[in-house]
Structure 1
Amino acid sequence: MDSITQAVLGAALQGTLLGRLQGRRALVYGAALATVPDLDVVIHYADPVSQMTYHRGFSHSIFVLTGVALLLAWLVAWIGQRRRPDAGYRWPRLFVAFWLVLVTHPLLDAFTVYGTQLFWPLTLTPLSWAAVFIIDPIYTLPLLMAVAYAFWRGPGRRARGLMTAALIFSTAYLGFGLAGRMTVEQRFEQALQAQGVAPREVRAMPMAFNNLLWRVLAKTEDGGYYEGVSSLFDREPPEMHYLSLNAPLAKVLQDDPLYTRLRWFTDDWLRYDVVGSTLVVTDLRMGIPGNYNFRFAMARRDEQGQWQVETPSRWRDNGTSMFNGGDLALIGRRILDQHPPLPLQAWTARAMTPAAASGVSR
């Protein structure tokens, strides 16, 4: 999730648990502590594939963060008992508060589609439950308002009650997102089966700034996939179109360790395209059709027409952005109205337009 959401979640948790002890400082400390796992972004990697796949790694591990919480609780309790022995700085209470503030950060990240290595150093596929978009005002605003009230009035009983209510609502909202994802996946699978298609794997993820409208992917046995859109308010089958994964193009990359790592991180939700003389590998999980967040130029044809694997660089889709006003307006309208359907094929065609590759990875 975005940094503001993580900060207000941490502030709400620590303000609720330690507000009586620390006052307004609990809100500030909680907000700061909750951002600690994202400090891994300061580490610079040599290529964008590494930058993507090592983010949300060791710093998001529940094992590492439990150790940090233990150490921090011991340190704060030791200092507190010497400076303010009657203030109530007890290790168990501090540990629970710090652990929750730290661990809820990667847990919330795991509810997005990106991928979070909760159990690092175990090499399990990164978790991506895809129940909420990376920026969702409905999740964030109740927490933000409760924390702002607590900072204004102080974390007294009323303020702590508001923060507790906001935490309960935000948690329930994540559950609503999971239920919505399962609903649209089942609906999409049924729509394909009605066409005589038996999908091999189905994956849904929320579209921009909401969890009412979902983009759904379904792999098929013939090496292709369907991409479509479904709203929780739909009464008709979702719009969809069929594309090829172009998996044979991946043979040139089979000995590349960065490609192997990318397949692992994305759970192999990858498509391959030849754009000009460049082999472009796309993470299908994030973005909208034709405008994906993570596309990488990973090989290039030489003058003899032979593929040469190269250090990955970011591939830009014809200078477009998934946050342009026109597309967002269509997405917002589509939540409630199924007609006209989103222009999936037109959006996808944009991805085939040659664009500049860039080494910028953020």
Structure 2
Amino acid sequence: MEAGGSGGDDGAVEQGWSAVLNRRNKEALAQWARQTGTRLVQVNGQRKYGGPPPGWAGSTPPSGSEVFIGKIPQDIYEDKLIPLFQSVGKLYEFRLMMTFSGLNRGFAYAKYTNRRNAQEAILTLNNFEIQPGHPIVVCRSTEKCELSVDGLAPSVKKHPLLQLLCELTAGVTSLSLHPSPFQKGKQLAEVKYVSHWAAAMAKKVLVEGSLCLCGDQIEVDWLKPNIKQEFHTSVQAFPEVLPSSRSSEDAPSPGPCESVDHHPASLAVGHALSYLNMQCEERQLGSPVFLTKCIQRKPSGWLQFWYQVVIPNYPSPFSGLIWIKQEHSVVEDHEKAKNAVALQLLKVLGCPVV
């Protein structure tokens, strides 16, 4: 259940303290785990019980069922903590944050099977002296799932950044780019994860890995509610992926991130683009900027394009994949792809298509 490591003189002192004075507590933990049959799994700087616990057949507990536990003495472990928090209700999951030398980091999370038990834990165990003179803090966990990645250069684009974060971290569900409210001329990425645990692990990886993009040092932190509200109060961001069109006999079947161009032949190339520019000008959104790249060609003449569109006064760009039928020149192919994307954008904006 331990992971070794070194961190200079301070790490050596900590490991020495842990090995000599803390050995008895670790032995007690191991004995308790054997006697109770409790399985603890250590991964990425935390040790976890449950999630779900043995014999669990229900769904994941609702938001508000988790509590944060702080000011835990570093030599206190699950053999003391889990029974204490189980005394007020059934635990779905318990996570104790750990150092490389085997001490706890002073905080943990306990998730109950319902909100009522979580509230009872706060009322009963907040300021409980787990050791004489050592009251612990128990409060509602915010269960944050979103990170801010600040200090990005203007040249950083959504699609490559999303690919990079998916390679470095697990559980990314969405990403949007905004002008940074803290650094002039920079961008801030709002990154959402599938769970608080996934976001916490991603934050640990990105912070400890000293993320650097385009030569800039990046600041990674929890997304503050007031900043999120500022981004989303004016207008709703475009969806990352455009809706798919109806199927066609000879066209490739679109995947979850794709749409296929099946627009009427009467819709001339450039018509939707011009109409979109006019609509954006009337709404004072700024002129759309298109990026397109052909990434696949089919023998049947179908081309797959990756696209990204930035509308200056919308809070984030959006991107996706689209199939079009090949034309006579590369220029016409790119223009047709832009035209197909523009037509979908007009639908998103609620504009009548002519």
Same fold (TM over 0.5): no
Band of TM-score, shorter chain: under 0.3
Whose strand fraction is larger, Structure 1's or Structure 2's? 2
Whose helix fraction is larger, Structure 1's or Structure 2's? 1
Larger Rg: 2
TM, length-normalised to structure 1: 0.25
TM, length-normalised to structure 2: 0.25
